[in-house]
Structure 1
């Protein structure tokens, strides 16, 4: 007869903890996620600002990056549509220098990450995307032997100003051009990723996929934030109603992906607690872990394959701060990646309907050394307590 051991890996005591019963024996595996389910972003605005205090050659930054590998690193954001490669004298746009590109690629290789780069969609000719600058970057990439994992085109096209508006049909055509020029460049296998809409907007995504985008992209992406960081309050970060808004959004997005782009991956291509850089003195504190942990649990359970956290550095929601020190969500991300693996289980508990519970097979490939058969459970109770738990369960 097998015996079972339940070990508390992370536990912070508080004054109001419910005793609940979790049925793991009858839990069903419903999804699979990869080791790169959790990834990160760096905003293209950092390049415009000449990287601020972020240092791609810093041993400290590299050590923190290695801690959450393997991971995708997306270079995107609003400023991506203002970047050009190796044109320091083009005053209409901001330069992505050869040194920038070299440092980025060396950084991801040393960290054990995979690079995703978002090309400038505003470079246009006769109404179509002009790929000439992208071709220049791709030729250099091949020459140097760099191997980015994926390419995007434009950021949040559903919110472009009217002067730069691009229809879903035209965007699908532009993505087809992107895939063609990357395929022709001789780079190693890559992912075509998009359309990276602002919000989980079903109409724009559906129209893009129906117009041909569904045949072109390998990964369908949207962005999601809970609320405005300039108006968010501490209470928002444990508000069950706010958390629950994500459920119909992700279900609608996944449904659209499955119907209009079957067998393609569905990602959150950029996401965090609050837009506008996060909430000051909240998004970088322990309480932000409630939103982050719940989003990871729901995303895995409801069919997303990857979640890219905005962002590794910068803003109030950065995993590391302006002094390159880790914020609480960095440590939560590190623990999650060390312990949480695949498949994903649908678990139930009937003791307290307010407690949210998620479970996966443990990541047995991590350095911690857990054995096959281990299960990682993470749970918390929004609103009334100030603690979340990550637990281990395995057969002896």
Structure 2
């Protein structure tokens, strides 16, 4: 609840109450706290999505099913207060994990869609004199095709700006050994592609005005794995899922969490970055918004590859993830002429004609008329300290990523390699490879974005 406007009940913070949903009592947000939070958001330049209580006013039909119309009065008062204080909320999300069977509680899709139309009208009225118009997001739950399809159909054209869904495809965080095995199984990680594909189809058929967001993803639920989610090995699923999500036109991917639980990007005690923080940082710095086709299935399922237009500059950036614990992958590109790849397995070289770069070659050419005009590429190789996959220290090109004495994030410096030399991807490692002079027609006009 929100302590504003016509709220009649007393405003108490959350309390540990085992008999209640998730072991907590109902809670209330004081506007003094909302002011403090918005001051923090403003100082950090954060883009804020706020999840609204979507159960207020409903009645419980069974143990987990809720029915009846949503009461918008308390949410309306909060939004009105937010506007009056000139706080900028980028988007309002309606509910949390109430879709399909729900997590602890659920609401029928037809009722949900009806309530969303009501909320959209409220937002349009409250923001009618504002230059800024926030997005309306829903449902913030786990994807179930029939439920999501119906929600878009019932709410109608232009109501839902963003379809948000949650993903915890690794299962519970309690099984450390099983969790690591799933993270290092490239075929298992690929299974999640079905969710992204089906959601993209749901939107295309029923609500093309909406975008897809991952509103919450932490790999393993229940706070993640205590000795896995905050270590190097976690980046294998994380970066792989960022690549998959991008392929299916996902616009935003929200990681659970910045801080809190074992899956936090920051250590909950020292606030120093865990390995996934640096993975997210490199992705954010290097991978642009335009996704390019990439395939290496012709020669190994253990090398996952993704290609994007580079962020803020010409060229392309490749993300290469080696899931093999024994194979070193060697990729060679020679100025768009001879293309080959290899797997170095215990010093035995296997050459395969078709490769990941074979597919890229058909879409790109080198800038400049001669291959000699292109001199270097940038490489960011990520490995764990002491070759321990559960190390909490990530190495970038052999150098540990550690905060400075002043608490500053280290400079993410690449190594430069001759553009015509082979790329070597070590076993159980991850690499971002930037080709600053690759002329990709699909990337034209994206340099400044």
Give the TM-score normalised by the residue count of structure 2.
0.64
- Displacement after TM superposition at 1:279 (Å): 1.1
**TM-superposition CA deviations, 1:87-130 (whole Å, max 9, x none):** 68245731111122112222222222211111111211682111
Measured in 1, the distance between the counterparts of 2:324 and 2:55 equals 44
For the residue of structure 1 that corresponds to 2:219, the secondary structure is strand
Mapped to 2, the partners of 1:263 and 1:294 lie a distance apart of 27
Cα distance in 2 for residues equivalent to 1:84 and 1:239: 44
**Quick one: distance in 2 between partners of 1:85 and 1:239?**
48
The residue number in structure 2 matching 1:143 is: 84
Residue aligning to 2:51: 118
Tell me the residue number matched to 2:161.
218
Aligned length: 305
2:305 maps to 357
2:273 corresponds in structure 1 to: 326
Aligned twin of 2:172: 228
Distance, in Å, in 1 between the alignment partners of 2:94 and 2:301 is: 42
Confirm or deny: 8 A CA contact 1:156 1:196 kept in the other structure. yes
C-alpha separation in 2, matches of 1:106 and 1:342? 30
The match for 1:134 among 75, 80, 83 is 75
Checking the alignment, whether the CA contact within 8 Å between 2:97 and 2:103 is kept in structure 1 is no
Whether the 8 Å contact between 1:240 and 1:383 is mirrored in structure 2 is no
Who is 1:265 aligned against? Answer: 211
Alpha-carbon distance change, 194 to 336 in structure 1, aligned in 2, over 3 angstroms: same
Is 2:259 the partner of 1:306? Answer: no
Aligned to 1:108: 41
**Structure 2 residue matching 1:274: 3-state secondary structure:** coil
Pick the aligned partner of 2:288 from 309, 325, 341: 341
Aligned residue for 2:232, secondary structure, equals coil
Q: TM-score, normalised by structure 1?
A: 0.72
Aligned-residue offset at 1:177: 1.5
Q: 1:125 and 1:290, CA in 2 relative to 1: closer, same or farther beyond 3 A?
A: closer
Determine helix, strand or coil for the equivalent of 2:28: strand
The offset of 1:268, in angstroms, is 1.1
Task: Confirm whether residue 89 of structure 1 aligns to residue 10 of structure 2.
Answer: yes
Aligned residue for 2:294, secondary structure, equals strand
Q: Give the number of the structure whose alpha-carbon radius of gyration is greater.
A: 2
Deviation at 1:215, TM superposition (A): 4.0
Q: Does 1:380 align with 2:321?
A: yes
How well do the aligned residues superpose, as a CA RMSD in angstroms? 2.1
Structure 2, gaps ≥5 residues long: 13-24, 60-67, 326-426, 439-449
Structure 2 CA distance for aligned equivalents of residues 213 and 245 of structure 1:
31
2:147 to 193, 196, 204: 204
Match of 1:76?
none
- Of the candidates 100, 107, 114, which is equivalent to residue 166 of structure 1? 107
Q: Which portions of structure 1, spanning 4 or more consecutive aligned residues, are displaced by more than 4 angstroms?
A: none
What's the counterpart of residue 116 of structure 2? 175
Structure 1 residues 315 and 383, CA, compared in 2 at 3 Å: closer, same or farther? Answer: farther
* Aligned-pair CA distance for 1:379: 0.7
Between the two structures, name the one with larger relative contact order (CA 8 Å, sep ≥ 6): 1
Structure 1 residue matching 2:146: 3-state secondary structure: helix
Deviation at 1:302, TM superposition (A): 2.0
* Aligned-pair CA distance for 1:171: 0.4
- 1:271–1:85 CA distance, 2 compared to 1 (3 A): farther
Contact 1:355 1:379 in 2 (8 A): yes
Distance in 1, Cα, partners of 2:194 & 2:34: 39
Q: Which residue of 2 aligns with 1:185?
A: 126
Deviation of residue 213 (structure 1)? Answer: 5.3
Preserved contact between residue 347 and residue 357 of structure 1 (Cα < 8 Å)? yes
Give the CA deviation at 1:161: 7.2
